[in-house]
Amino acid sequence: MKSGQKKLLIAAGIILVIGAIFVNSHSKYEAFVKKFDFQKAQARGLPMLVEFGFQACPPCKMMKPILKSLDKEHSDDFAIAYIDTVVNPDLARQHNIQAAPTLIFCDKDGNELARTMGYMPKEEILKKWKELGVIKE
C-alpha cells in the first residue's frame, strides 16, 4: 500500500471515530434535555429550578451531574427543568438570559424567586432552596 493511501485510510478512520464520539455525545445530551423537560417539570406543581444553558457550554456540562443528583435526592421538594438557549432562543430572550448557565429558582406558580449566573455547586443550590424555605434544615 502506498504512503498516500495509508494516510487517507488513517484520516478516514479518525473522522469515523470523531463522528461516533459526536453522535454518542449528542444522543446523551438529548436524553438529558428530555429528562428535564420544562413542561414536564412545570406539570409537577412543585417549586422549580430551571437551568438555561447549551450543549457546548463547559460550565453547563459540569452542572449535568449536579442536576441529576438533585433530581434523585430532592424530587419531592422541587422539580428541575433544562432549557437549551440555542434551541429555544425566544425563551432565553423572554427570561433575559445573559450568560450560560443561568439558574432560575421559581415558586410552584412559576414566579422567579432568585437567579444566579454561572456554575453553582450542589451545596450552594441547596443553601439557596433553604433560604427560600423550600427545603427545611
SS3 label, residue 107: coil
Domain residue ranges in the chain:
1-35, 37-131
Residue 127 reports pLDDT greater than 50 = yes
Q: Which residue has the higher pLDDT, 27 or 67?
A: 67
Among candidate residues 123, 128, 120, the one with its CA nearest the CA of residue 52: 120
Q: Which fold has domain 37-131?
A: Glutaredoxin (3.40.30)
Strands (E), 26-127: 48-53, 79-84, 102-106, 112-117
Is the backbone of residue 45 left (phi > 0), alpha (psi -120 to 50) or beta?
Answer: left
pLDDT digits (tens, 9 = 90+) for 47-62: 999 999 999 999 999 9
pLDDT digits (tens, 9 = 90+) for 67-86: 999 999 999 999 999 999 99
Q: Is the peptide bond before 65 cis (omega within 30 degrees of 0)?
A: no
pLDDT digits (tens, 9 = 90+) for 98-122: 999 999 999 998 899 999 999 999 9
